[in-house]
Amino acid sequence: MIVDEEQKKEEKSKKLFADLCECYLLLNGTFSSELFSICIFCLLKVALKKEENEETQKGVEMALLALSKIIAWNEMGQELFLNAIKEIMKYHQKHHNLTRLAYQSAWQFLINRLSYEKSLEGVIVNELHFVREARKELEELAKSVDWKRKAEENERRGKERKEEFVLLRLLQTCGSYFLYCNLWNEEFAGLIDDIVQALKVSKDNYRETFKECIYSLKAAADNRAVKIDFLVKGGAVDAILEEIQQQTMDDKLTLECTRFFESISSRLKE
């Protein structure tokens, strides 16, 4: 159906074409090289739209969400995506036209490429300023969540629940950044501090957010570019040590905390 719709080149079929590409990326685990390129070109074209009406904004959000599902092992040439995704991000940084979910999805799509495209490190760190943008988003999202209210109570509060979902995805993106990016920037320390703060406020009522903070800090501990002092002196070690002493931890979280301390120990020995 995607191939058929692409060949029509008709204005009326563009919405169906984009919908099919989104479904293909969101639902499929593997991609054919032909359809892969077709879908990326289609959805980046949708994501480049700058009209501020609700329908366009929703279309942009869905296109970027679908693109963010292309995980790290999908190798692609930079000519497929780089200029377009840079334009999308820089325009948003100037005009704030994207939803938070759309902006976070754009970052996830780009950072997923780092496992194959190491040359993107300079673009992400020095040109698009991921750490600066992530810190700003974390701060704003943290303000929108009532940390004293139990997470299940938020099922009735749609907007706050959505903000929590975007916060979770942003923490996942930070974890991917720490995992793949080895270009040190002094702003790293501030981002680690922000994640530690999110870990502390989420531990009682927002366990999914708390767990994602642990995973991100573990990725930072494994990254040789991250200076160990920022993890030891920044409070990450104390916060996770306090948690690992609790009797109610699940096995997966216990394992992740233990691995965090193994990484810290190994780095300190060096």
- Reported confidence tier of residue 135, pLDDT bands at 50, 70, 90: very high
What's the confidence (pLDDT) of residue 133?
Answer: 96
Q: Domain for residue 139, yes or no?
A: yes
CB 128 within 8 A of CB 113: no
Q: Give per-residue pLDDT as tens, 78-98.
A: 888 999 999 999 999 999 999
SS3 category, 159: helix
Give the C-alpha distances (Å, rounded to integers) separating 262 from 99, 267, 269: 38, 9, 11
* Residue 15 confidence (pLDDT): 87
Residue 114 has pLDDT above 70, yes or no: yes
Residue in the block written with tokens 């997923």: 112
Whether 181 and 117 have beta carbons less than 8 Å apart is answered as: no
> 100-110, pLDDT tens digit by residue?
999 999 999 99
d(Cα 212, Cα 252) in Å, to the nearest integer? Answer: 12
Mean pLDDT on 177-204: 88
Residue 162: pLDDT above 60?
yes
Q: Is 6 part of a structural domain of the chain? A: no
Q: How far is CA 223 from the centre of its chain?
A: 17
Residue 89 lies in a domain: no
What DSSP letter does each residue of 175-231 carry, written as one string? HHHHHH-----TTHHHHHHHHHHHHHHHTTT-HHHHHHHHHHHHHHHH-TTS-HHHH
User: Of 188, 183, 191, nearest to 122 (Cα)?
Assistant: 183
Helix (H, G, I), strand (E, B) or coil at 31: coil
Name residues whose C-beta falls within 8 Å of residue 223's C-beta, 6 or more positions apart in sequence: 178, 179, 181, 182
Give how far Cα 176 sits from Cα of 55, 114, 128, 221, Å. Answer: 31, 9, 16, 13
Count of domains for the chain? 1
Q: The domain that contains 263 carries what CATH number?
A: 1.25.10
Q: Is the pLDDT of residue 175 over 90?
A: yes
Q: How far apart are CA 126 and CA 120, in angstroms?
A: 10
Which one is predicted more confidently, 150 or 231? 231
Per-residue pLDDT reduced to its tens digit, 216-266:
999 999 998 888 888 888 788 888 888 888 766 678 888 888 999 999 999
Percent over 70 (pLDDT), the chain: 91
Query: In terms of Cα–Cα distance, which of 141, 77, 75 is closest to 103?
Result: 141
Q: C-alpha angle 182/93/201, rounded to 5°?
A: 65
Judged by DSSP in three states, 83 sits in: helix
- Whether 80 is covered by a domain: the verdict is no
Query: What secondary structure letter does DSSP report for 96?
Result: -
Is residue 78 within a helix (H) or strand (E), and if so which, with residue range? none
Q: Please indicate, yes or no, if residue 200 is contained in any of the structural domains.
A: yes
Contact present, 236 and 256 (Cβ < 8 Å): no
Kindly give, in sequence order, each residue whose CB lies less than 8 Å from that of residue 260, ignoring residues fewer than 6 positions away: 214, 217, 218, 221, 240
pTM of the model as a whole: 0.89
Does some domain include residue 236?
A: yes
Higher-confidence position of 207 and 73: 207
Q: Which domain holds residue 160?
A: 129-269
State the average pLDDT over residues 6-19. 79
**How large a percentage of the chain has pLDDT more than 90?**
47
Asked whether residue 191 is domain-assigned, the answer is yes
Answer yes or no: is 97 within a domain. no
Nearest partner of 174 among 160, 193, 156, judged by Cα = 193
Give yes or no for residue 156 having a pLDDT over 60.
no
